[in-house]
Every structure is written in C-alpha cells, then in structure tokens.
Chains A and B, each alone.
Chain A
Amino acid sequence: MHIKSVIRLVAQILVFVALLMLIPALIAVIHEEWQAFSGFILTISLMMVLSILAIILTKGQDYSQFSARDGFLFTTLTWILAAAFGAIPLLISRTFDNYTSCYFEIMSGFTTTGASTLADIESCFKSILFWRSMTNWLGGMGIVVLFVAFLPAIGASAGTFHLIGAESVGPVKGKFTPKTRTTAIWLWGIYFGFTALEVIFLCAGGLDLYNAVTVAFSTLSAAGFCVKNASIGGFNSAYVEIVVTVFMIVSGMNFALYYKAFTGKLRDVLKDTEMHWYLFITFAASLAGAVYLNASGTFDTIGLAFRKMLFHIVSVLTTTGFATADYTTWPTFPIMLLVMVTFIGGCAGSAGGGIKVVRVSVVCKSGMNVIKKRIHPSSVVQLKDSDGVVNQEVVTSIFAFVSVYIITWIIGSVIIALTGQDLLTCLSSTLLTLGNIGIGFGKVSPAGNFTIFPLWSKWVFSFLMMIGRLELFTVYVIFSRAFWKR
C-alpha cells in the first residue's frame, strides 16, 4: 500500500474538481445568485487550500509502484471526498438546512443515481441546479477517467490501468488503445461529442441553452437529475421526449463500440452480442407493454403508448431515471416489465449502472448450458460471446457479483425497513439507489421523492449509491481485513 501516493493523487484530483466548480460559479454570476456564488467560491477555496497542503506534505511521491490495491483505495476516497466537498455549496446556499441531505443529493449526482430529496426543484438557485446536473455528467464517464485523460500526472505507468479499472463498469476491465490515457481521452471525447449533439438537438426543439445543457448532462450520464419538478414531462414536448429517448439508448451502450465504429470496424460492432441483448430487451419489453397499455385503454393510440412505454423502459434499463408520466397509475403488467428491467441495467463500459446486460446474459446462458448438460451429460458446453469463449474465471466473478448484488440489496432493505416505510417502498428505494436508477415504485415513484426518509437513512442510501456505481468490489475490498494486513 502506498498511502502517501494515494493521498497525493486524491488531492490532485480535488484541485481538478475545484477548478471545474468555477463553471457553476460563473453561472451564479450570470444569474446574480450571490448566495450560491459565495457557496461555490468558499468551497473552491477550501478545496484548494486543503489539497495544496496535502500535495506539499506528500512531496516526492511517485506513482510507478501504484498497484491495483492502491487503485481501489484511491477511487473510493475520490468518490467519497468529491461528494463531500461538492455538497458544501448546497449547504451554504441554504438549498437544504442540513449537510446530510446535501451529501445525499450530490452523491446521488456523482453516482448518476438521480434520486432527489428536493421537494420543490424549480424554486432552487439555477447555478445550484446546474452544479447538480454537472455532477451527473462528471460521474457518468468517471471522475478518475477524466483526470487520467486530461492530466498526465501519472504518466505512462501501468498503474493508470488500475485506476481506470477500479472505476469502469463491466465484468472485464478493458481498454481499446495501447495507452490507457488515449483510451480515457477517447471515452471522454465520445461522451462530450454526444452531449454536444444532444444540446444541439434540444435547442433546435425550442429549449433554451440552460435547459438543454442540464438535460443533456443528465441524459448521457444515464443519471436523471432534471431542473423541472415533473422531470422531462415538465417540458411538455413529444420532440424533447424522443430526443432524450434516443440519447438515453446511446448512453446505455458500451462506449468501446463507438470507438470501433469511428475507427471503421462497423462489422465488429454489429456482431456484438451484448448490444443485441440490450436492444432486444428494450424493444421487446416496450412493444409488449405498449400493446397492453393500448388494449387496456390507458392510451388511445398504439403510437402514444409505445412512445410512453419506450421512454420509461429505456429510462429504467439504462438507469437514467427520467420520467414523463407517473407510471404507478398504469396497469400491473407494464409496471412489472419496468420492475424486470430494473434488475438488468446498462451495458458494460457504458454510463449506466445496475447489474449490466452482459452479466445477465452470461447468467442466462449458463442456465441453458446446465439444461443441455442434463440431457447430454457428456456434451462439451462452452459459454460464448462475441469475443469468443468466456473464461471460467470471468463466469465465476459474474455469478459472485450477481449474488453479492442481491445480498446487498436485501440487507440494505432490512436496514431501510427501520424507517417504518411500507414493504414496496423499502425494497424499491434500496434497489434504485444500489442500481443508480433514481426512480422506483411505491413512494419513490416519479411522483415521490426521498424527503420522506429520516436523515440517518440518507447515509445508508449514499453508501449504497457509491458501491453500486463502483460495482461493489472496489469498495468492499477496502473493508476486508486482508486489504490492510497483507
């Protein structure tokens, strides 16, 4: 373990986050929100002073010895502290009267959960809401990845790979260019490009720049914060709904595929089995739900029903958590479809959270193999995906992940049950924070929010959001004895 190197690197990243906070500070100046402005400036100064102090105290540390273990500690610390400092402007600007809610809100932002404990969003400072959406955007592709892309602090050491590995999502941590830094630059480049594209489309649909940028921030990161009380429904525009749907689908796909498409390997992209599963689930569930909604008379036309169903299926599947309607008033069948996709999540290497499509597909394929093995006991069965045979070690780690995910969900629900809420709300609120979804069922449906929960439970939710975003094990290893002893 190289604690000093870890601290030095965390301090550097916080300087970086502080500089990024100048953007909402500027927005505060434009809208003359001086209370919010002072919040940002005080926070920036505090972060700068503490970070520079830490950097000076840890002078002379280099990162050539950085191991995977240091990567776990570094990534977890970065996320805890980024949320801790990011929450301060909310407290100073009196958005909440207690720090716990501020921390919950910003952790929900960075982890791209999008669960809110704000009762009336539209009455808040615009700059604060902008910062909230910006944390979504920063967390979507990863703060550490951004740092690696733009600050060559750790150079070409192999350690960089451990850093990205601890933050990226999916069962196999990969990169698609020889240099980790190039991969990070590509990821952020693609991410930025799509965000800009969505802003252009939204502006063309009549949204002002502020609304377009905040919506785009929360769409591409699959996060779900919105500056409207009624989420995307608040814009009251079918055009906006469709644009957001398309870009949510984009955010839930593996970003390595976009790189391949850009570099002329379209054939490889079309062969990707995870993408096939992802698109199949999206459209099959939407179509089934739409037919039912139309037949049951909830929506008059099949077109409208499909648009509403697709929006919410994509919103939940990619773990974004936008809404244009309160689906809890719908019949049970379409709601059940939404519950189903809650357990799936986005693709590996995407901005989405949850269990991930690839893990679900491996679990299903393993089940099929067991059936085949029962019929032909001596048959040779191999688990394949588009890259060839899936390594048994990877399969084991996938099963371990899914099991630990479900155990975490259940234990989390037991703890949250102490708040006295009903069964559905407890189960749903835990799952929507662990999966970084942001909307659920019961009292945490699109119509509700987290104001109903007592303060202590918000720390539990914050923790669940963080371990969900960092895919459990990055955080869990730090709590293991072996991590610190040997």
Chain B
Amino acid sequence: MKVVILGAGRRGIRLARHLVEEKKDVVMIDQRASEINRAMTSVDCLGVVASGTDAEELRNAGVSNADAFIALSGSDEINLVSCGIVSAEFGVPLTIAAVRSLSYTEKAKSVNLLGISHIVNPSQEAARHIFGDIDKGLYSDIISFENSSLVLYNIYIDSKSKFRNKAVRELRQLIPGQFIIAAVSSNGNVFVPNGDTVIHENDTLSITISEDTAEEMLEEMGRVRPKAEKIVIIGATMVTDFLLRLLSRKRRRHTTVIARDPQACEELALKYPDVLVLNENITNEGVFRQENLDSYDLMISATDSDELNIIIASYGKHYGIKSTMALVNKNHDFIRMADHLGIDSLLSTQDVTVDSIVKYLQGINISGIHSLFEGKIEALEYKIPSNCPLCGKPLKDINMKGKGIIVGARKPDGTSLLPGGDYTVNEGDSLIMVIDRQELDFIQQLLGIKAF
C-alpha cells in the first residue's frame, strides 16, 4: 500500500507517522529540501524534492503507482491542481486535498471536482470537533461518538479512588451502573485490560459509559459535569463561522463573539442575527469586566494566533469562566506546553485534519476515529455492513485475542447500549471498538474490511 503525501510540513509529517505505524509505504513530496530532510529523519518514509504541480516530477517521485495521493501543502490552489493532475494523468484511485476556502455539505461531497475523491477543510473539521465537545460536555479527555449516547472518559486513579487495587472483575460488582473499561495506561504502558487486570494507583483508565447515566457515574467517581449555556467565542475566523452554523438557533442566542476586525464582525452579525457580536480587542482588560465574561460557562479562543488563543484561554479560566477551550492551528507542540496552564481543552486543527483523513482512508464504514493516550490506542466506530463476517455472532464468540475490545454498540433505531457477552452483532449496528494502533491489520481482517 503506497501513499504519497504532498507537503512535508508538520501536518504532513503527523499523517505520515500515522500511516507508517499502519505499515504503509509513505513517500513525501515537498519543494523545500530542508523540510524533506526533516521528514526523512523523523519518519521512516521516502522523501523527494519535487513540485506538486509538475507532472514529470510527480512521475519521477513514483506517484504513478501510488494507491493514494494526499495534498497537504499550505496552498489551496496547489493542493487542488496537484490532485487534479494526479487523478487525470496517473489515474491514482484515491486523491484527498486539504482546501481551506471551500466548504462542503454532505451533498456537495459527491460532486466530482477535478476527479478529487475527498476534500477536507481544516477549519470545518475543527468547528465540528468543537461542536461535538460543546454538545457532550467539556472535558479535554472526553471522546464522543457521532449519533450515539455513549461517551469515552479518561479517569485518573488517585489514592482515594474506589478503583484502586481492584481487579476489573471485582469492579463490576462494586460500582453500580454499567461501564466498560476500554484501556489502561499504567507507567506509560497502554493496554486493553481483561477481567483479571488489577487497577493500581496512578493508572489512567479509559471507560465508556452511557450518557444518560454519566452524571451519576461521574459523581460516583468524583467528577461533576458542567453544562455550557453561555458561550463566548474569541475571533471571527472561518472556524467561528462554521461553528455558529452548526449551533442551533436557541444556542446562538446565548452566544457572544468578540473580534477585532470590524469587517469580519459585520459579516457575522449579518449572517447570524441571534449572536451578539462585539467589535473589541480581547486583550483590553476592560472587555472582561465590561462584558462580565466571568458569567460565561465556556470560552472558545479561536483566533488565527495560537499564542493569543492560549494566553486568552488561560487568562479567561483564571478570570472565572467555568471552562475554556483554545484552538491551535500551526504549532501543534504548543498543546504539550500549554497543558499546564489550566485550559480545559486544547484542540489542534492539525490533529482533527489528520484524524479526518485517516478515518476516510480506513474505510467508509468507520465513522469515527479518535486517538487515546498519545495515539497508542485508537477508538473507532464501525457500521456493520451486510457482508460482515461478524454478523449474527454473539460477542462472546468473537475472538479479539486481547488486541482490542468492543466497548459500545448502537442499534439502527438509535438506541445505544453497553454490550455484554450475549449481545449479537447485526447488520446496521455500529460497534465502538478500542484497539491498539499496531493491531489495525488484525481488526481490519476480523471485520473483513479492505482498507482503501
């Protein structure tokens, strides 16, 4: 399986690393020799210095026999043109372009633009992700699944935790309510537990619970879940625009946007009359007091400047806003550094873009994919097609060989459940699975998926 990535920037390298871990052959193309050098020393891939819009150079780089071509350069135009060349000239079956200035809806996806199979818009992906977080709750370490009431939480085991020094089997009887432990991170080792696994102090658990019982479960475990009514968004960027589009009208009425650029403010005010748009510079101390920002439940800092987003979100939290969220566009490393500033959630545009591409590559039936514990473990949602070899089998008869665990299921009628051993897999069900990334091959085989 050969994948060519155009653009060896941070985003390209992140995607390449991910694909190499899935044992794919990766070729990176960039015009800058220094970027290619960096890519080759940090990922086990082949780097070629070439232009993305020169058919001859692309051929020499080996694009003609690639299975997929992904254009992630900084320029929309280059991404579109190169994907066009690659699909017309070499007939590469799968082409993906990252394009900022093109929004798409579910319908527009099927429109054949230059023969490109899939277009990702980083701003739109970020907006969707933020929306998902607002919708489900405000933990940085929560993962929600599309159209499902199940959520995946990370909980840390401290010295007071009820989970401490108990085997997974004992916990089942001890804690009321249903839950499944999907993964355990212990001293840097991440694994999928079985009934005999004992939980120790300082471990971090990933558990799935149903949303309906989440509140009481979390109280049991010592966490209370805040609700976001009043939202303030900093910056009138494309992410802001996409996010406002996703929010319901009722929600928009409780939403405030604060941005510095008067023209962008006017446009937003015109488009979303329910939203309160303030043309102000957020770095003025007066704004926080004047607008009573401490009365808000959630602040989303989504300007074009990563540094500003982090500073504002951190300050906002100290000022008294219940939860704050910061968007990181360019420098993904800020996430690690900003982890200690009290910001509730840091969202990387790069991460969500890469996640979205990977999800697309891994098969159309996989509708949600999320990384856990720095990407060592992956949670994915898979819709069972009619020809799936698992159809009609009860869960206890499916041998996962300890390489993964099924932590949730959703029936076609929309009800979600935490499946037990007697649950039978049916066509149309969506399974939520947590697996070791290295074992992706095995899971694909188990499910009978041919990856792209």
Cβ of B23 < 8 Å from any Cβ of A? yes
Cβ of A176 < 8 Å from any Cβ of B? yes
Cβ of B170 < 8 Å from any Cβ of A? no
Chain A residues near B33 (CB-CB < 8 A) = 391
Q: Which of A162, A175, A176 counts the most B-chain CB atoms under 10 A from its CB?
A: A175
Q: Contacts A176-B46, A178-B2; is A161 near B25 (CB within 8 Å)?
A: no
Does A178 contact B26, Cβ atoms closer than 8 Å? Answer: yes
Q: Which of A161, A388, A391 contacts B40 (CB 8 A)?
A: A161
Sorting the interface of chain A by its residue count into under 10, 10 to 19, 20 to 34 or 35 or more gives 10 to 19
Does B46 contact A156, Cβ atoms closer than 8 Å? Answer: no
Q: Which of B27, B41, B49 contacts A178 (CB 8 A)?
A: B27
Cβ of A68 < 8 Å from any Cβ of B? yes
Q: For the complex formed, measure the closest distance between the CB of A59 and the CB atoms of chain B, giving whole angstroms.
A: 14
Does A160 contact B41, Cβ atoms closer than 8 Å? Answer: no
Cβ of B44 < 8 Å from any Cβ of A? yes
Does A177 contact B25, Cβ atoms closer than 8 Å? Answer: yes
Does B25 contact A178, Cβ atoms closer than 8 Å? Answer: yes
CA distance A161 to B38 in the complex (A): 12
Consensus secondary structure, chain B interface:
mixed
Does A156 contact B2, Cβ atoms closer than 8 Å? Answer: no
Within 176-194 of A, Cβ neighbours of B (below 8 Å) are at 176-182
Chain A residues near B26 (CB-CB < 8 A) = 178
CA distance A139 to B25 in the complex (A): 28
Does B46 contact A175, Cβ atoms closer than 8 Å? Answer: yes
Cβ of B35 < 8 Å from any Cβ of A? no
Within 41-57 of B, Cβ neighbours of A (below 8 Å) are at 41-46, 49
Q: State how many residues of chain B have any CB contact under 8 Å with chain A.
A: 16
Does B44 contact A179, Cβ atoms closer than 8 Å? Answer: yes
Does A156 contact B41, Cβ atoms closer than 8 Å? Answer: no
Cβ of A158 < 8 Å from any Cβ of B? yes
Chain A residues near B46 (CB-CB < 8 A) = 175-178
CA distance A464 to B82 in the complex (A): 50
CA distance A68 to B42 in the complex (A): 10
Cβ of A237 < 8 Å from any Cβ of B? no
Q: Which of B2, B23, B41 contacts A161 (CB 8 A)?
A: B41
Cβ of B20 < 8 Å from any Cβ of A? yes
Does A156 contact B23, Cβ atoms closer than 8 Å? Answer: yes
Chain A residues near B45 (CB-CB < 8 A) = 178-179
Chain A residues near B294 (CB-CB < 8 A) = none
Cβ of A382 < 8 Å from any Cβ of B? no
Cβ of A157 < 8 Å from any Cβ of B? yes
Chain B residues near A161 (CB-CB < 8 A) = 40-41, 44
- Supply 17 A–B pairs (Cβ within 8 Å), ascending by A: A68-B41, A156-B23, A156-B44, A158-B43, A158-B44, A161-B41, A161-B44, A162-B41, A176-B46, A177-B25, A177-B46, A178-B2, A178-B26, A178-B44, A178-B46, A179-B44, A391-B33
Q: Residues of B with Cβ closer than 8 Å to A?
A: 2, 20-21, 23, 25-27, 33, 40-46, 49
Q: Residues of A with Cβ closer than 8 Å to B?
A: 68, 156-158, 160-162, 175-182, 388, 391
Other than A162-B41, A182-B25, give 20 A-B pairs with Cβ distance below 8 A.
A156-B20, A156-B21, A156-B23, A158-B41, A158-B42, A158-B43, A160-B44, A161-B44, A175-B46, A177-B46, A178-B25, A178-B26, A178-B27, A178-B44, A178-B45, A179-B20, A179-B44, A179-B45, A388-B49, A391-B33
List the 8 closest pairs (A to B, CB-CB), nearest first: A178-B25, A178-B46, A156-B44, A158-B44, A178-B26, A178-B45, A158-B42, A156-B20
